Amino acid sequence: MTTETDINLQGVNGDQEAAAVGIKHGKELMLLGEAVATRDQSLLKEARQRLLDEAGTSVLVDAAGVAANFQRMVRIADSMGIPIDDMESDLGKSVRTELDLTRYASAANTLQ
């Protein structure tokens, strides 16, 4: 909203067409993120090469740095018990609904 960029949140759920909406190299970035999250080495190798071919070295390096930092920050926050944002906010509720986040088993650990 800050940059007035149209995006489609379904890219977070693996929808390749949605990932490309409003985000340069969005499809390739989503595929890399998915490969990192699933820890599938063959998918990771393919996604890295695809992003390198499509976007170049600097984008690949930046994306790898973001993925690594995200993994680190989530683990630190989880281990320290840092609470997440206000679960009652309208924005948070709408994003959780749109992405159907309750389908994940870990949703049982989310504050209601």
Per-residue pLDDT of the chain (112 residues; tens, 9 = 90+): 788 889 998 888 888 899 999 999 999 999 999 999 888 999 999 999 999 999 999 999 999 999 999 888 878 887 887 776 677 788 888 888 888 888 877 777 765 5
Work out the widest C-alpha separation in the chain, in whole angstroms: 44
Contacts of 10 (CB under 8 A, 6+ apart): 18, 98, 99
The pLDDT value given to residue 51: 97
The pLDDT value given to residue 45: 97
**In Å, how far are 2, 26, 40, 41, 42 from 104, measured between CA atoms?**
29, 24, 19, 23, 24
The pLDDT value given to residue 36: 92
The pLDDT value given to residue 84: 67
User: For the whole model, what pTM was predicted?
Assistant: 0.73
